[in-house]
């Protein structure tokens, strides 16, 4: 199967938006054994979109269009496919009702311009969008299949997985195994995994997590390569073998209760611990002790004057102060920058304090050369990485 991907939108051509959909789709297609022969991004212009359909139709037998399905006048995917396939646009009353229901469910007013989203080229099959108002569709022109999906990644990905993938017959059955490592640069992970015969090794870095995926058509070789890859990276760095699971997700299995005291992360650790529902089983809450005054008044911290707000002593005092009735109290204090660094404690320095019934300690970290957002994220994730070993 030869596939062309056609992302539509001025925002993809003038530097406003990074196209992550095409990387996602390219990887998915490769996993299905299909070949992506070209990727042609064009602006919100009817003639350009039709032109790109013509170009692709000569090179591929399956075209995936992303974007251009919104309600505004510059959303032209429907019109372009209609012109290219010589078919009229038909209004689907069932879609009008669904879009109206989508708005009313959210207590928002339905705008007549949204009716446009119920128009599809004649002969199309609807690809339902449960997360937005832009339905996708699939249609044919002779032996060519054309799929149109919305450009919003959070809508595109489930529509792709739930409705398009089942339509594509995998050429050969593929075996995929993977794991996620924490806080190793992609180049280090890639460097320690040897060239593995007859399998494809894929990396995906989403700081501070790296996903390693081993895929191939020979089950035994994939299993063997998976074992070699895991041994190369080291068990300690691997936090899950479920590549759909993020580090904060592991806490849903926590057997212990947690409280947090955050300084430089300002609430990020608590936010991550409560991303998944059911967090109240293990997360009690805590204190955002951004100012030194709150460190004292809410946590009883008395170490700031002598040791500084960013010190192992203060981290321990914060963890101890916040623990309360929880099994573990965890604290973060550090210098997220860009200002506030000193030669002894440069920007990127942080301490994580841990208080349990029997133990009180602090861990020291230094993330050199990282920016504020990365340092804060690293600090929250380092705390999660320490926590997981205690509560799981």
35-94 positions binding a second copy, by CB under 8 A: 36-43, 48, 52, 55, 70-73
Sheet with 2-7, side-by-side order of all strands: 2-7, 62-66, 144-149, 136-141, 125-127
Q: Distance between CA 183 and CA 180 in Å, rounded?
A: 10
The one segment of 83-91, 121-129, 257-265, 352-360 that binds a second copy by CB under 8 A: 257-265
| 122-151 binders of a second copy (CB under 8 A) | 131, 133
The CB-of-208 to a second copy minimum distance in angstroms stands at 12
The one segment of 90-98, 105-113, 121-129, 383-391 that binds a second copy by CB under 8 A: 105-113
- Identify the residue among 65, 78, 80, 102 touching a second copy (CB under 8 A): 102
Task: Give yes or no for residue 191 binding a second copy (CB under 8 A).
Answer: yes
Q: Distance between CA 274 and CA 244 in Å, rounded?
A: 18
Residues 6+ apart with CB under 8 A from 107: none
Residues 6+ apart with CB under 8 A from 370: 348, 378
* Closest alpha carbon to 190 in 204, 177, 171, 176: 204
The CB-of-287 to a second copy minimum distance in angstroms stands at 6
DSSP notation for 58-85: TT-SEEEEES--SSSTT--HHHHHHHHT
Q: Which is nearer to a second copy, 253 or 280 (CB)?
A: 280
Residues 6+ apart with CB under 8 A from 163: 127, 128, 136
DSSP notation for 196-219: -TT-EEEEEEETTEEEEEEEES-H
Q: Which is nearer to a second copy, 125 or 280 (CB)?
A: 280
The one segment of 89-97, 311-319, 355-363, 366-374 that binds a second copy by CB under 8 A: 366-374
- Identify the residue among 288, 360, 386, 390 touching a second copy (CB under 8 A): 288
Task: Give yes or no for residue 290 binding a second copy (CB under 8 A).
Answer: yes
The one segment of 118-126, 139-147, 157-165, 267-275 that binds a second copy by CB under 8 A: 267-275
Q: Which is nearer to a second copy, 146 or 299 (CB)?
A: 299
- Identify the residue among 88, 108, 161, 255 touching a second copy (CB under 8 A): 108
Q: Distance between CA 298 and CA 281 in Å, rounded?
A: 23
The one segment of 78-86, 87-95, 227-235, 258-266 that binds a second copy by CB under 8 A: 258-266
Residues 56, 148 contacting (CB under 8 angstroms): no
Q: Which is nearer to a second copy, 123 or 296 (CB)?
A: 296
């Amino acid at each position: 199967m030869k596939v062309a991907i056609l992302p539509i939108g001025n925002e993809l051509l003038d530097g406003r938006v990074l196209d992550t959909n095409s990387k996602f789709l390219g990887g998915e297609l490769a996993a299905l054994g299909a070949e992506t022969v070209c990727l042609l991004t064009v602006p919100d212009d009817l003639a350009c979109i039709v032109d790109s359909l013509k170009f692709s139709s000569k090179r591929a037998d399956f075209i995936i269009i992303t974007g251009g399905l919104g309600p505004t006048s510059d959303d032209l995917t429907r019109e372009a496919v209609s012109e290219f396939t010589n078919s009229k646009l038909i209004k689907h009353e069932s879609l009008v009702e669904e879009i109206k229901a989508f708005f009313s469910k959210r207590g928002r007013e339905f705008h007549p311009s949204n009716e446009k989203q119920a128009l599809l080229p004649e002969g199309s099959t609807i690809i339902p969008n449960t997360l937005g108002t832009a339905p996708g569709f699939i249609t044919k022109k002779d032996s060519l299949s054309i799929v149109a999906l919305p450009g919003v990644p959070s809508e595109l990905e489930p529509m792709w997985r739930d409705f398009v993938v089942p339509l594509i017959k995998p050429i050969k059955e593929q075996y995929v195994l993977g794991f996620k490592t924490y806080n190793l640069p992609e180049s280090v992970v890639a460097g320690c995994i040897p060239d593995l015969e007859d399998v494809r090794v894929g990396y995906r870095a989403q700081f501070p997590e790296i996903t390693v995926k081993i895929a191939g058509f020979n089950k035994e070789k994939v299993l063997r390569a998976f074992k070699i890859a895991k041994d190369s990276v080291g068990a300690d760095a691997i936090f899950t073998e479920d590549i759909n699971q993020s580090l904060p997700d592991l806490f849903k299995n926590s057997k212990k209760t947690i409280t947090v005291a955050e300084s430089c992360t300002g609430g990020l650790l608590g936010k991550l611990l409560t991303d998944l529902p059911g967090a109240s089983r293990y997360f009690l809450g805590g204190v955002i002790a951004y100012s030194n005054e709150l460190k004292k008044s809410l946590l009883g911290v008395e170490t700031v004057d002598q040791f500084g707000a960013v010190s192992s002593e203060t981290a321990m005092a914060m963890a101890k102060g916040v623990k309360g009735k929880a099994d573990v109290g965890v604290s973060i204090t550090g210098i997220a920058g860009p200002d506030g660094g000193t030669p002894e404690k440069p920007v990127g320095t942080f301490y994580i304090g841990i208080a349990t019934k029997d133990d009180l300690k602090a861990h020291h970290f230094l993330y050199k050369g990282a920016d504020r957002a990365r340092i804060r994220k690293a600090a929250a994730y380092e705390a999660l990485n320490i926590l997981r070993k205690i509560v799981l």
